[in-house]
Amino acid sequence: MPDKLLLDDVRFYGQHGTTKAEQALGAWFSVDAELSLDLAAAALSDDLGATVDYGQVAHRIVEIGTRNRVNLLERLASLIAEALLREFPTQEVRVRVRKLTPPLEGLVGTPGVELTRRR
């Protein structure tokens, strides 16, 4: 079973959504990412070069989340998952995206999606 690098609650502000209010006002988003990879070398060496720098992962998540507007959380999660698989040495990623402040009247709770992608 591979080890996992976890990054929880990476936040950014974006204008994702299908309504004019969501596109105009925007909302805060939170992303959790889980990358499956072998962390044994890093655990032994204590060397950042032997692992994935979670700061780079966080930066990439924010970059994707703030660069282009999308309608659906599913699409945003997919863009993030695809990029992490392509750019980091992981065999599997799990990405959870939540819209923290949806500008929708009457909504109770935090909408979100979770996707798992493998090579």
Q: 3-state SS string over 45-58? A: HCCHHHCCCHHHHH
Catalytic residues: 99
**CA-based end-to-end distance of the chain:** 16
Over residues 35-51, the mean pLDDT reads 96
The pTM assigned to this predicted structure is 0.93
- The residue ranges of every structural domain in the chain are 3-118
pLDDT in tens, 61-114: 999 999 989 999 999 999 999 999 999 999 999 999 999 987 667 777 889 999
Q: Which CATH number fits domain 3-118: 3.40.50.11260, 3.10.150.10, 3.90.209.20, 3.30.1130.10?
A: 3.30.1130.10
Q: For residue 104, what pLDDT is reported?
A: 67
Query: What dihedral do alpha carbons 65, 78, 31, 48 form, nearest 10°?
Result: -90
Confidence category of residue 1, pLDDT binned at 50, 70, 90: low
Q: What residues are paired with 36 via a beta bridge?
A: 4, 92
Mean pLDDT across the chain, nearest whole number? 93
Over residues 41-55, the mean pLDDT reads 96
> CA-CA distance, 52 to 29, in Å (whole number)?
23
Confidence category of residue 25, pLDDT binned at 50, 70, 90: confident
Structure tokens at 116: 């798992």
